């Protein structure tokens, strides 16, 4: 199974124009909006402190959430800056993000259809340089070395880039239930699943080297850990948000698919997670 999480991580949007077109549209985007985990407020606090973000309506910061998905990171970030630009190549993801922004009354978010290859065009349209670019579990969709070089002159002094990994995929965790889920999924889809979605140590080291090579300074990683738990419904919804639309079980087949997964998992009302959020940051 090739999943959005394999290609871009387990939290927010896709990134390259040549990624699977339409794979994360329709119902997948709906599941993404409802079931993908959000970000603890401590993550937003860390970003605001690291880059001295300003939300003043006249002179505050611009932020870019690249590969924004359905807005799990862009929407809370909007409260910390003057304007946040959410960019994603999947129209249905942006449709969900825009609807959620309206529901929350967020009026300072701009939703743009595009990928990392469209970032150079921002040179001609941004009213000021970016205070922050966030890439939430999406960087391994991207041509990240070229992207970081492009972002450097777009970033104000003291601003920067944050590459965020919001935990590991639900089938790749070090718990009995996650291992059982992985076995059941590999049996169902007839292939192995990725165990790293840009969260492994060697992935993070590559991104850190690329940030440094692009001219960002003080490149370092900060981690935040918290405990959570998933009901079976949440586990299933999160899984459906990671399966490309062509591979998503058809609605009539979903009860049987869910029953097979339920039978494979250890008994219990909930499935505990230890979530590690990693913030890899570089300053201009």
Residue whose C-alpha is closest to residue 9's, from 140, 115, 181: 140
Beta bridge mates, 226: 275
Q: Which residues pair with 115 in a beta bridge?
A: none
Residue ranges of domains in the chain, CATH in brackets: 4-168+194-227+274-283 (3.40.50.150)
DSSP sequence for 203-215: HHHHHHHHHHHTT
pTM for the full model? 0.90
**Tens-digit pLDDT profile for the chain (284 aa)?**
444 434 333 333 333 333 455 777 889 999 999 999 999 999 999 999 999 999 999 999 999 999 999 999 999 999 999 999 999 999 999 999 999 999 999 999 999 999 999 999 999 899 999 999 999 888 878 999 999 999 999 999 999 999 999 988 899 999 999 999 999 999 998 888 866 666 678 888 999 999 999 999 999 999 999 999 999 999 999 999 988 888 999 999 999 999 999 999 999 899 999 999 999 999 99
């Amino acid at each position: 199974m090739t999943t959005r999480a394999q290609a871009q991580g387990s939290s927010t949007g896709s990134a390259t124009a040549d990624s699977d077109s339409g794979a994360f549209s329709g119902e997948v985007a709906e599941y993404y909006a409802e079931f993908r985990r959000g970000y603890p407020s401590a993550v937003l606090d860390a970003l605001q402190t690291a880059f001295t973000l300003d939300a003043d309506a006249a002179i505050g910061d611009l932020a870019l959430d690249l590969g924004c998905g359905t807005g799990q990171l862009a929407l809370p970030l909007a409260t910390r800056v003057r304007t946040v630009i959410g960019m994603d190549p999947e129209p249905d993801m942006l449709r969900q993000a825009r609807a959620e922004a309206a529901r929350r009354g967020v009026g300072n978010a701009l939703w743009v259809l595009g990928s990392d290859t469209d970032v150079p065009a921002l040179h001609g349209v941004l009213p000021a340089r970016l205070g922050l670019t966030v890439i939430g579990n999406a960087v391994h969709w991207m041509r990240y070395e070229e992207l970081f070089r492009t972002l450097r002159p777009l970033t104000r002094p003291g601003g920067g880039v944050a590459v965020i990994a919001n935990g590991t995929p639900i089938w790749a965790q070090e718990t009995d239930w996650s291992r059982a889920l992985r076995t059941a999924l590999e049996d169902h889809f007839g292939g192995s699943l990725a165990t790293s979605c840009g969260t492994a140590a060697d992935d993070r080291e590559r991104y850190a080297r690329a940030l440094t090579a692009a001219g960002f300074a003080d490149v370092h990683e900060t981690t935040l850990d918290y405990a959570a738990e998933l009901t079976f419904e949440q586990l299933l919804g999160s899984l459906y948000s990671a399966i490309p639309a062509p591979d998503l079980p058809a609605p009539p087949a979903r009860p049987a698919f869910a029953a097979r997964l339920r039978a494979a998992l250890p008994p219990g009302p909930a499935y505990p997670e230890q979530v590690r959020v990693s913030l890899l940051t570089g300053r201009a």
